[in-house]
Amino acid sequence: MQTKVRILGIVGSPRQKGNTNCLVDEVLRGAATMGAGVEKVQLDAKKIKLCQGCDQCHKTGACRYDDDMKDLIALMKESDIWVLGTPVYWWGPTALMKKFIDRWYQDYEGLQVCGKKKVVLVIPYADNDPTTASHTIGMFQSALNWLDKEISAVIEGSGLSARSDAEHDVNLLSRCFNVGIQTVKDLLAD
C-alpha cells in the first residue's frame, strides 16, 4: 500500500547508533509499513550555524548563512509528519537540536502556513525520574504551538544510559513502531 504521506525524522543526537536513532528508526519503520515515504536527517551531519539574532532573514528575506538550514526547512514544509528526536542533556534538548530549532526563526512564517503537520517527539534519557524530560517537552510544545503544529505523540524512554539500551527494550520499540503506524492512520483520517 503506497500513500502520499511523507514523514521526516530529524535526529538531534550526536550518537549515530544510539538510543535516539534506534527509536526514531522504529517510528519511521512503522510509518513505512503504512506506505509512507520516509526520510531521516542526522543533524550532526549537517552544516548548521548558530542563529545570531541579526534579523537579516526578516529584513531581506534570506538568512545571512548559506548552510543546510534552507534545505532542511524545505524538507519540513514538504513533509506531513515530523519525528523530532533528541536525548535529554541537562534537562533540555541537545545543542544540535536547539541550534536547529533556533534557526526555524529564519522562516517561521513559512513553517506556520505550510499546512497541518503531525509531530512525534522521541525523547530518551538516562535516569528514571519522570520529570526529566518536562523542560524539553515543554519547549517543543511552546515552539510547535506557535507554529500551529500538532504534537500527536510523545515517546519518552527512561533508563536508557548505555548506547544500545533502547534496542533491548521490546515494549518501547513496539510503542515506537505502533506510533508510526497510528500517526499515519490519523493523518489519513483527517
Of 49, 56, 27, 52, nearest to 39 by C-alpha is 27
State residue 1's pLDDT score: 47
Residue 134: domain span:
6-176
Structural domain includes residue 1? no
Q: Which residues contact 117 (CB under 8 A, 6 or more apart)?
A: 76, 79, 80, 81, 82, 149, 150
| 58 in any annotated domain | yes
Q: Are 2 and 32 in contact (CB under 8 A)?
A: no
Question: At 154, which CATH number?
Answer: 3.40.50.360
Q: Residues with Cβ < 8 Å from 97, sequence gap 6 or more?
A: 12, 43, 84, 86
Q: What's the pLDDT at 108?
A: 85
Task: Provide the number of structural domains found in the chain.
Answer: 1
Sign, CA torsion 172/8/121/125:
positive
The Cα–Cα gap between 20 and 123 comes to 7
Q: What is the mean pLDDT of each run of 10 residues along the chain (190 residues)?
A: 82 91 96 95 95 89 90 94 96 95 89 88 94 95 93 94 88 95 92
Number of H helices, E strands in the chain: 7, 5
d(CA 63, CA 106): 6
Order of strands across the sheet that contains 150-157? 37-42, 6-11, 81-85, 118-124, 150-157
Q: Is residue 189 part of a domain?
A: no
Classify residue 149 by its DSSP letter: -
Q: Is residue 184 part of a domain?
A: no
* 68 within some domain: yes
Residue 126: which H helix or E strand, with range? none
Q: pLDDT at position 3, please?
A: 60
Q: In the prediction, which pLDDT does 134 show? A: 95
